[in-house]
Amino acid sequence: MKLEASGVTKRYGDQAALDRTSFETPADARVIALLGPSGGGKSTLLRVLGCLLTVDEGAIYIDGTRLPNEEAESLVERRKNGFVFQGYNLFPHLSALENIALPLREVHSLDAAAARDRARELLARLGLSGHEHKRPAELSGGQQQRAAIARALAPRPRLLLLDEPTSALDPVMTGEVLDVIGELASEGQHIVLSTHEIAFAREVSDTILFLAEGRALETTPTKKFFTDPETPEARAYLDGLSRYR
C-alpha cells in the first residue's frame, strides 16, 4: 500500500496539526508506524487517512487514489477502513458479539445470521471464544482492546488504523494486544499505527513515518530509521528514548 501526501494542512482553529506536509511511502509498504513527539500530528494523520477528517489544503492518496473532501464521499471511504483508538472503543451496553455484529448489520448490510457468524469467527481468531456474551465492563482491558480489533477487522478493511492501541493497558495486556497485531501484520493486513511501544514498532513495521510539529520529517525503512535516521530531529527523538531503556 502506498500512502502519499502533498502539501497537506489540517487546522484546528488557527493551529495547524498538519502543516503543509508531504511524504511518500514505498509502494509495497505493509505496516507503517507513525513515530514522533506528542502533539506532532500522528492522531490527526490517522484520522485523515481513515477519512474521519478532511484536510484544509493539499491532497492525500492511497494507492494513487485521492481521498475525497466531500462529507458524503468521505463516509463511503470511511467504511473501507478499520479504526482502533487507545481506549473506550466498545459500546458499553452491548455484548462483545453484538459490538461486532451490530455495525456489520447496520453499516455493512449483512443479514443477522451472517453478522453473528462473522462476529464469532473474529472473536475466536482474537482468542475471545467463550467471552461472546460479556459486556465490555466484564472483560479485561486487553480483552476489550482485542474485541475492538475484532470489530475493526470484521468488515475486512483495506487499512487497519491503530492509534496508540496499547497506551491504556498494563504491560501484560499490552503484550497480548501487540501479539495480535503482530500476527495480523504477518498475515498481510495493511496497518498504519501510532505507538509508544518503540521495540514493537521496530519489530512489526517495514516503514517509519516520523512526524514532528505537523510535518513528516522522514519516511524511512524501519531498519535504517533505528540505525541511521535521516534527520537530526529523529536522532534526538531516538536518543531521548534510549536514555531510560
Give the interface with ligand ADP as residue ranges (CB under 6 A).
Answer: 12, 15, 17, 38-44
Residue 41 beta carbon to ligand ADP: minimum distance, rounded to whole angstroms: 4
User: In this structure, how many other beta carbons lie within 10 angstroms of the beta carbon of residue 130?
Assistant: 9
The 1-20 site mask, x for binding Mg ion (CB under 5 A), equals --------------------
Q: By C-beta, is 104 or 169 nearer to ligand ADP?
A: 169
Cβ 53 to Mg ion, closest distance in Å?
Answer: 13
Q: Which does 191 bind (CB under 5 to 8 A by kind): ligand ADP, Mg ion, none?
A: none
Given Mg ion, ligand ADP, none, residue 40, with its beta carbon under 5 to 8 Å by kind, binds: ligand ADP
Other CB atoms within a 10 A radius of the CB of residue 21 amount to 24
Q: How far is the CB of 183 from ligand ADP (least distance, A)?
A: 25
Helix (H, G, I), strand (E, B) or coil at 116: helix
Q: Is 43 in the site for Mg ion (CB under 5 A)?
A: yes
The secondary structure of 35-94 as a DSSP string is E-STTSSHHHHHHHHTTSS--SEEEEEETTEEPP-SHHHHHHHHTTEEEE-SS--S-TTS
User: Contact, 165 vs 89, CB < 8 A?
Assistant: no
From the list Mg ion, ligand ADP, none, pick the one residue 39 interacts with, judged by a Cβ distance below 5 to 8 Å according to partner type. ligand ADP
- In terms of CB distance, is 15 or 129 closer to ligand ADP? 15
For 41-58, b/e burial (b = at least 16 CB within 10 A) is bbbbbbbbbbbebbbeeb
Contact 45, 210 (CB under 8 A): no
Q: 55 or 110: whose CB is closer to ligand ADP?
A: 55
Residue 17 binds which entry of Mg ion, ligand ADP, none, CB below 5-8 Å type-dependent: ligand ADP
Residue 11: CB minimum distance to ligand ADP, A: 9
CA angle 83, 23, 76 (to 5 degrees): 35
Residues in contact with Mg ion by CB under 5 A are: 42-43
